[in-house]
Amino acid sequence: MIETMSKAEMQRYQGIRGVPHDFTDYWQQLILSLQLPELKIREKDFHVKQVRCFDLYFDGTNGSQVYAKMLLPNTNQKIPVIFHFHGYQGRSSDWSEYFKFVACGYGVVALDVRGQAGKSQDKGQFEGLTVKGQIVRGMVAGREQLFYRDIFLDVYTLIEQVRKLPEIDDENMQTFGASQGGALAVVGAALHPHIKQVVTIYPFLADFPRVLELGQITEPYDELFRYFKFQDPFYQTKEQIFTALDYIDIKNFAHMIKGKVKLLTGLRDDICPPSTQYAFFNRIQTNKVHILLPEYGHEALNVGANDLCFNWLVNTEIEEV
């Protein structure tokens, strides 16, 4: 379904539900309780002398193994880092796709989200509907069993462990991604105070009640509709479900972000409705820029938008188009 709010309405909109009173404390306590695992690093010979490539592994929650790529310029200087996160159901990009950042002196660390198409392995066990999709995994049992809770902790753990490496400039770290990757970029910036800037493109996982209100049944939100259609057609658990999902709703992380935020939104997005993205953006309390593409939806933005994001990431003082 195409967005029903006007631009003026969206510019005032902050989402259907408020932020839980204990939201910030909840995530801070989770981080404090983490026993950070050893980061296992294996260098790869990619046969390009200007770039050093590494496989990274660590043990995540639930005994899952988490994988990421790391690419560093071959230099003796401290290296600024861009953390890249991929879209829903996907995996990190090919190594060579990140060389453009390395050519500009930046390292890249790219996570494979557990249980999706990359090398990270999910070993968690969940109650309730798991036939389709990862938003719904664990939501019936409550916030402690949410699948994305573990993914968000993976994001924090990766950033924290990479920043401790001696070659990394931990005062110059950024997050970047689109869709699910855009959501994880937001969460990384919210949970880790060293993130200087987040560049997020049409982020996923925002304002779940609005998605339901719009009847958004395209991938990947279809899993929410399947839950209510087949397990709760009378919506008797609606409050219970949204109370759990509040803790992975990215609009509720907005106030925790300390660094700059750049957001790109296609106003014809029928996957992550523009109003849900505004609900996140309008809650940001730091320096922020919102670029709109009126004729674009949830699709490749090969119209200069990728160049804009690239320049934002390698020239962090650029603010506008």
Answer whether residue 177 shows pLDDT above 80: yes
222 part of a folded domain:
yes
Tell me the residue range of the domain where 120 lies.
27-313
User: Would you state the pLDDT for residue 84?
Assistant: 98
Q: Does residue 84 contact residue 108 with C-beta atoms inside 8 Å?
A: yes
Q: Is 154 a catalytic residue?
A: no
Q: Quick one: average pLDDT of 118-144?
A: 80
Answer whether residue 216 shows pLDDT above 80: no
How many distinct structural domains can be found in the chain? 1
Q: Quick one: average pLDDT of 272-295?
A: 97
Answer whether residue 2 shows pLDDT above 80: no
Residue of 179, 184, 214 whose CA lies nearest to 10: 214
> Terminus-to-terminus CA distance in the chain, angstroms?
29
135-156 pLDDT, tens digit each: 888 888 899 999 999 999 999 9
Q: With bands split at pLDDT 50, 70 and 90, how would you rate the model's confidence at 73?
A: very high
13 part of a folded domain:
no
The angle at the Cα of 119, spanning 99 to 184, to the nearest 5 degrees, equals 70
* Binding positions: 88
Sheet of 195-201, strands arranged across: 40-44, 51-59, 65-73, 107-112, 79-85, 168-178, 195-201, 260-266, 288-293
User: Would you state the pLDDT for residue 198?
Assistant: 98
Reported pTM: 0.96
User: Would you state the pLDDT for residue 45?
Assistant: 86
Q: Quick one: average pLDDT of 300-321?
A: 87
User: Would you state the pLDDT for residue 46?
Assistant: 85
89 part of a folded domain:
yes
Q: With bands split at pLDDT 50, 70 and 90, how would you rate the model's confidence at 134?
A: confident
Answer whether residue 218 shows pLDDT above 90: no
User: Would you state the pLDDT for residue 220?
Assistant: 81
* Binding positions for substrate: 88
Catalytic entry in 120, 246, 269, 275: 269
Better-predicted residue by pLDDT, 58 or 117? 58
Catalytic entry in 92, 120, 179, 275: 179
What is residue 291's three-state secondary structure?
strand
Strand partners, 85: 111, 177
Q: Does residue 203 contact residue 262 with C-beta atoms inside 8 Å?
A: no
Q: Is 255 a catalytic residue?
A: no
User: Would you state the pLDDT for residue 127?
Assistant: 67
User: Tokens in use for 21?
Assistant: 């009173």
How far is residue 274 from each of residues 65, 213, 223, 296, measured CA to CA in Å? 34, 13, 20, 11
Residue of 146, 150, 139, 148 whose CA lies nearest to 238: 139
182-194 pLDDT, tens digit each: 999 999 999 999 9
CA distance 211 to 203: 13
Of 118-122, 277-281, 298-302, give the range with the top mean pLDDT. 277-281
Q: Is 179 a catalytic residue?
A: yes
Q: Quick one: average pLDDT of 235-260?
A: 97
320 part of a folded domain:
no
Q: With bands split at pLDDT 50, 70 and 90, how would you rate the model's confidence at 1?
A: low
Answer whether residue 128 shows pLDDT above 70: no
Output the DSSP codes for 32-68: HH--PPP-EEEEE--S-TTEEEEEEEEE-GGG-EEEE
Residues comprising the chain, all counted: 321
3 part of a folded domain:
no
Report the CATH number at residue 67. 3.40.50.1820
CA distance 198 to 83: 9
173 part of a folded domain:
yes
Better-predicted residue by pLDDT, 2 or 74? 74
CA distance 221 to 89: 13
Q: Are strands 51-59 and 65-73 parallel, antiparallel or unpaired?
A: antiparallel
191 part of a folded domain:
yes
CA distance 306 to 302: 6
Residue 44 neighbours by CB under 8 Å, 6+ apart: 53, 54, 55
Residue of 139, 137, 87 whose CA lies nearest to 113: 87
127 part of a folded domain:
yes
Residue 277 neighbours by CB under 8 Å, 6+ apart: 202, 203, 206, 263, 265, 269
- The chain-wide mean pLDDT, for the chain, equals 94
CA distance 130 to 124: 12
Q: Quick one: average pLDDT of 94-119?
A: 95
Answer whether residue 258 shows pLDDT above 90: yes
Q: Quick one: average pLDDT of 224-251?
A: 94
Q: Does residue 233 contact residue 165 with C-beta atoms inside 8 Å?
A: no
